[in-house]
Amino acid sequence: MLPRGANLQRIKNGKKTYAITPHLPGGFVTPERLEKYANVARKYHGALKLTSAQRIMITNLQAEDVEAIWQELGIEPAIGFANCVRSVKICPGTTFCKRAKKDSVKIGLELDKRYIKKEMPSRMKIGVSGCPNSCSESVVKDIGLIGTEQGWDVYVGGSAGSHPRLAEKLIGDLSDDEVLVVVEYIMNYYQANADIERLGKFIDRISFAKFQEEVLEKYTNKSKIETGKVLVKNNEFAPLPGGLTEGTLTIGDDITADSIVADIIRIYPNTIPALRSLGLGCLGCPSATGEPIRQAAEIHGIELDELIKTLNEKR
């Protein structure tokens, strides 16, 4: 079991070290908090690293120190698990930037408050930029907002990383109140209809035209917000429709070392909590789509036979 809020960072000479990433909404940090980071890093021989999500990661930690570090920091972990809203990147906007057209800090912090760690079909990142310079990289975020003279433009389906995709513009010229409502409809539609797939993948699968038409129709008609697909309920997981690969498993098959992670979670969704608790949290990432469980176990430092035994018990 991983220490709370920690990622396995590396295994060197059989020794594991961990990283934690406290939640810093918008990347704002007070001098007092910075002092706490410095104190725990010094005390526990941690290394501090700025992340692309406007946070400060503390890495090179020992498992047995992690809980004490959380207590001393007094900050919550940034990420609940892999498939959730993982970050809201916010540029300085009208609060601090002379070029800004919109208040990205206000909207970004509101989105952070509403959605951070909210469970989603896959990982989700949000970028909020106060003008078209797009310093929060809004067009490579799952949901990206860009401020203009006329209001907020909303982009959907962007991602960076190993499978980059530019977001497409869903709607423009929205007020602050309107943009928050549109984001709620996007989230809701994605939650209710997507497989374990990034928003961009989902849009590619159903077509941008269909996604745009259906989300905006709900927004225009002020449709009731649907109840999203409940993925976590008393630790039971509902089967997920659709397929992410050609398929290495069908229902009833044993899970083996060659079973693909994405197929395991699609055919046997009850294995998801066990996979997450063992640190295989990236259940919607592109690696999971094609990675056999033997490779995932090696990367995450998990004993393979024990893992397969656990998964077959849970399925």
Q: Is 51 exposed, middle or buried (0-12, 13-18, 19+ CB in 10 A)?
A: middle
Supply the minimum distance, in Å, between the C-beta of residue 100 and ligand SF4: 3
How many residues bind ligand SF4, per CB under 6 A? 13
Per rule CB under 6 A, is residue 27 in the interface with ligand SF4?
Answer: no
| Residue with smaller CB distance to ligand SF4, 135 or 307 | 135
Characterize the bridge pairing of strands 143-148 and 124-129.
Answer: parallel
Nearer to ligand SF4, 42 or 98 (CB): 98
- Binds ligand SF4 by CB under 6 A, chosen from 60, 95, 133, 245: 133
Shortest distance (Å) from residue 254 CB to ligand SF4:
52
CB of 296 to ligand SF4, least distance (A): 37
Nearest to 166 by CA among 196, 122, 208, 218: 208
Q: Which of 91, 140, 240, 311 binds ligand SF4 (CB under 6 A)?
A: 91
Residue 146 vs 293, nearer CB to ligand SF4: 146
Q: Is residue 88 a contact residue for ligand SF4 (CB under 6 A)? A: no
The correct pick among 54, 129, 191, 248 for binding ligand SF4 (CB under 6 A) is 129
The 3-state DSSP composition of the chain as helix, strand, coil percent (nearest 5) reads 40, 20, 40
Q: Is 99 one of the binding residues for ligand SF4 (CB under 6 A)?
A: yes
Nearer to ligand SF4, 92 or 269 (CB): 92
Spatial CA neighbour of 7 closest among 79, 88, 71: 79
Q: Is 93 in the site for ligand SF4 (CB under 6 A)?
A: yes
Neighbours of 65 (CB within 10 A): 19
**Is 100 a residue that touches ligand SF4 (CB under 6 A)?**
yes
Decide: is 97 part of the binding site for ligand SF4 (CB under 6 A): yes
Residue 26 or residue 130: which is nearer to ligand SF4 going by CB?
Answer: 130
Which residue has 């499978």 as its token pair?
A: 163
Kindly indicate which of the ranges 38-46, 98-106, 114-122, 182-190 contains the residues binding ligand SF4, using the contact rule CB under 6 A.
98-106
Round to whole Å and give the CA distance between 16 and 80.
21
Q: Which residue, 22 or 108, has its beta carbon nearer to ligand SF4?
A: 108
How distant, in Å, are the alpha carbons of 41, 138, 209, 285, 298 from that of 167? 38, 8, 13, 18, 34
Q: Does 135 bind ligand SF4 (CB under 6 A)?
A: yes
Q: Is 110 exposed, middle or buried (0-12, 13-18, 19+ CB in 10 A)?
A: middle
**What is the 3 state secondary structure string of 37-58?**
HHHHHHHCCCEEEECCCCCEEE
Radius of gyration, alpha carbons of the chain: 20
Q: Which two tokens stand for residue 120?
A: 């989603």
Give the other-Cβ count within 10 Å of 291's Cβ.
18
Of positions 131, 167, 249, 260, contacts ligand SF4 by CB under 6 A: 131
Q: How far is the CB of 55 from ligand SF4 (least distance, A)?
A: 18
The span from the CA of 117 to the CA of 92, in Å, is: 23
311 lies in the site for ligand SF4, by CB under 6 A: no
Q: Determine if 54 is a binding residue for ligand SF4 (CB under 6 A).
A: no
Nearer to ligand SF4, 97 or 216 (CB): 97
- By C-beta, is 59 or 129 nearer to ligand SF4? 129
Instruction: Note the residues at the interface with ligand SF4 (CB under 6 A).
Output: 91-93, 97, 99-100, 104, 129-131, 133-135
